[in-house]
Amino acid sequence: MLPYLEFANSIFSFRVGKANLKINSKGFFFGAIVKTFLRILGLGVIAVLLGVSGTCLAQRVVLRMIGPEDVNGAWAEIIKRFEARHPDVKIKYISGPWSTDDRQNMYLRSFLSGDPIEIVYMDVTWTAKFAARGWLLSLDPWFSPHEGSAFFPGALKAGYYQGYLYRLPLTVDVGVLYWRKDLVSRPPRTWRELEDTCRLHAHPPELYCLVFQGMQYEGLTCNFLEFLWAAGGQILDEKGQVAIASPEGLSALNFLRKLRLKNWVPKAVLSFQEQHTLEFFLKGRAIFMRNWPYALRLINQSPLRGKVGLAPLPSKTGAPTPGTLGGWGLGIARGTKAPEKAWAFIAFATSAEAQKILYLKRGWLPARKELFRDPTLLRENPALKDLYFLLERARPRPVHPQYPRISDTLQKHVSAVLAGVETPEEALKALSETLKFIIRGSRENYLRRLLLDYELKETLAHTLFFSAVSVSLEFLLGFLLALLLATPFPGRWWVRLAVLLPWALPTAVMAMSWQWMLNNPFGVINDLLLKAGLISHPVDWLASPEGAMWSAILADVWKTTPFVVIILLAGLYSIPRELKESLEVDGAGPLKRLFYLTLPLLLPFVRVALIFRLLQALGIFDLIWVLTRGGPADSTRTLGLYLYDLAFRYDEVGYALFLTVLFVFFLMVMSLLIVRLTTLEYERRS
């Protein structure tokens, strides 16, 4: 087996000037490429033909949409009723992942692929991005403006981009304050009143004052915006310029920090999404909770029934703060073959009839005002009246094509302030600078952007740290394991098998396993460390920046050490026994033999392993994407994830490709450098 490895080595010592491609080989080579290409083309044509004939045979227009799992069959019911009235249309509901972000990425990839999913079932924040790229059809030809008054104004307004309507609202959501009627006499109107109540009634750790969604995800943006609006600030001004660096912005961040410092807000909010917040509140451990209206139904099924009221969020001055508007709507993708049919479906799905089904089966609040006056619904849920008041005042999040990046940036710095990693002043400055780059940067040329790109610098630093640490650890461990396996002992075959296994298992799948092992508090790693007495209480490994990075390194070392072992083992086998013996005869000890015989002869193998491992580590994606998705606070985001985000989330394919080319070039130079540095004098001569 060794000749191939030597060959592998020789490959890295090539010289470009040698003009290896002669005409003969070239002709053959390109001939093969052309043939392959033609074959691929043929297959493509066949596939397209099959697809076309499939649709022709069906004779019905098929329209697809992606949504979360259809619990209780609400969508099935709506689709059934619609298809009964339009027998020529078939609606295919694709059950996507629960994460809003993942579903957005699915739509995005379908638009990029040129085969758009016809009906766009979209969150309130997607409109601007999709519309700005021209991926949506304007609904204005069909929608008459006077119908608009039937919807909540904010919800309808969120569907407009630059004067055209792209999205019709289906359901609405708004941030509200839940308060314990049995503990306090009335909900706070101002921040001062909130502080007073906290001081009087809260006694942590049994009873905290306020809980909200503080994890680094879209929910934190919604929560923070409410604090910002309560202080009178805003992210972007009317002209679309960044306006967060203001006294109002600072006081919002200061107030958040104060709530946390005084321990009125539990530390755990940093890992809270909606459900965790609600669970905490239902256990009676907080006086106030910021959440969406869906929580009401669950509160009414719990022991807290009748003890909880709804109120607008408090503000700095006393004027009721608008809650963040959420909710879902429908649009039509550009390139849809039968837009009229798609419109017919949208018109039906946003009708009062369909919205009522969604409300009754799923509890999603309708975007049509009339349903809030529906006597049957009101009898079942009298709180609809309060919600109506709040929904009319709900405020949409900033409308900007780059909204996802704006939101990512907000989350990162707000969560850093909550965690105490950044002071409010620092966070505000970083926030303002990054947002300015995002909003201005997309107009600059690539080279200028490269210099301004703050995220690139960060991800590059993470990538280099990750690669350096994990590759060194792998070599250390791999060398020891290889030495072990090169010596015969009983059961060696089995040990070799065990060592080889992690390499062969699917990375993405095993990353899921690691995530489970690192779980808090049910993870086995916490349990083992507790038993060994190394930690005193369970650690939330994936929630802190350092913990997440080291977890990723740990998993990567586990996964890829076998590769190093395999290569080094082959190297050890290649060292002739006689050499070792003759050195022994000459009186060289084990250490001397290691440094003067084993290591130099192993060098070519180390070189191969090093280049492969470094390239793989620098380009890491699967493991980190599944384990942490780059979080928390982007602390494990590597270059691979950034490029992927740029291309498939932020839709900056051109810039992503530019970075890719630069990176490939860098990797090539690095590989050649490694070859140079690890080639010894005598090797070069031979």
Q: Which of residues 75-104 bind other proteins (CB under 8 A)?
A: 94-99, 102
* Region 111-170 residues binding other proteins, contact defined as CB under 8 A: 112-115, 117
Q: What is the DSSP string of 171-182?
A: EEEE-EEEEETT
- Closest distance between other proteins and the C-beta of residue 604, in Å? 11
Q: Which of 609, 610, 633, 675 binds other proteins (CB under 8 A)?
A: 609
CB atoms within 10 A of CB 314: 25
622 lies in the binding site for other proteins (CB under 8 A): yes
Q: Which of 62, 67, 68, 81 binds other proteins (CB under 8 A)?
A: 68
656 lies in the binding site for other proteins (CB under 8 A): yes
Interacting stretch for other proteins, rule CB under 8 A, among 229-237, 257-265, 309-317, 637-645? 637-645
CB atoms within 10 A of CB 577: 7
CB nearer other proteins, residue 251 or residue 470: 470
CA distance 281 to 207: 10
8 lies in the binding site for other proteins (CB under 8 A): yes
Alpha helix locations (H) across 269-309? 274-282, 294-300
Contact by Cβ (8 Å): 598, 575: yes
Q: Which of 660, 670, 674, 678 binds other proteins (CB under 8 A)?
A: 660
| Count of residues touching other proteins (by CB under 8 A) | 120
Q: Which of 640, 645, 651, 675 binds other proteins (CB under 8 A)?
A: 640
With a CB cutoff of 8 Å and minimum separation 6, the contacts of 554 are 514
CB atoms within 10 A of CB 47: 10
CA distance 581 to 592: 13
Task: Describe the crossing of helices 639-648 and 454-486 by its angle, rounded to 10 degrees.
Answer: 130
Residue 312, preceding bond cis, omega within 30 degrees? no
Query: From the DSSP assignment, how many helices (H) and strands (E) are in the chain?
Result: 30, 15
- Adjacent-strand bridge partners of 66: 94
Q: Which of 619, 670, 674, 679 binds other proteins (CB under 8 A)?
A: 619
Length of the chain: 686
- Determine the distance from the C-alpha atom of residue 134 to the mean position of all C-alpha atoms in its chain, rounded to a whole number: 24
Q: Which of 254, 644, 670, 679 binds other proteins (CB under 8 A)?
A: 644
CB nearer other proteins, residue 671 or residue 678: 671
Interacting stretch for other proteins, rule CB under 8 A, among 80-88, 329-337, 422-430, 615-623? 615-623
43 lies in the binding site for other proteins (CB under 8 A): yes
- Closest distance between other proteins and the C-beta of residue 645, in Å? 12
CA distance 195 to 192: 5
Contact by Cβ (8 Å): 438, 409: yes
481 lies in the binding site for other proteins (CB under 8 A): yes
* Region 512-541 residues binding other proteins, contact defined as CB under 8 A: 512-514, 516-517, 519, 521-522, 524, 527
The first and second tokens of residue 503, run together, are 């390499």
In a 13 Å sphere around the CA of 589, the CA atoms on its Cβ side amount to 1
β-pairing verdict for 61-67 and 89-95: parallel
Interacting stretch for other proteins, rule CB under 8 A, among 283-291, 370-378, 426-434, 496-504? 496-504
Distances (CA, A) of 46 to 39, 42, 60, 62, 453: 11, 6, 22, 21, 44
* Region 227-286 residues binding other proteins, contact defined as CB under 8 A: 273-276
389 lies in the binding site for other proteins (CB under 8 A): no
- Closest distance between other proteins and the C-beta of residue 595, in Å? 22
- Closest distance between other proteins and the C-beta of residue 569, in Å? 8
14 lies in the binding site for other proteins (CB under 8 A): yes
Dmax (CA) for the chain in angstroms is 101
* Region 548-607 residues binding other proteins, contact defined as CB under 8 A: 558, 560, 562-563, 566-567, 569-570
Q: Which of 17, 24, 376, 578 binds other proteins (CB under 8 A)?
A: 24
20 lies in the binding site for other proteins (CB under 8 A): yes
Q: Which of 357, 626, 633, 675 binds other proteins (CB under 8 A)?
A: 626
CB nearer other proteins, residue 439 or residue 639: 639
**3-class DSSP assignment, residue 70:** coil
CB nearer other proteins, residue 34 or residue 43: 43
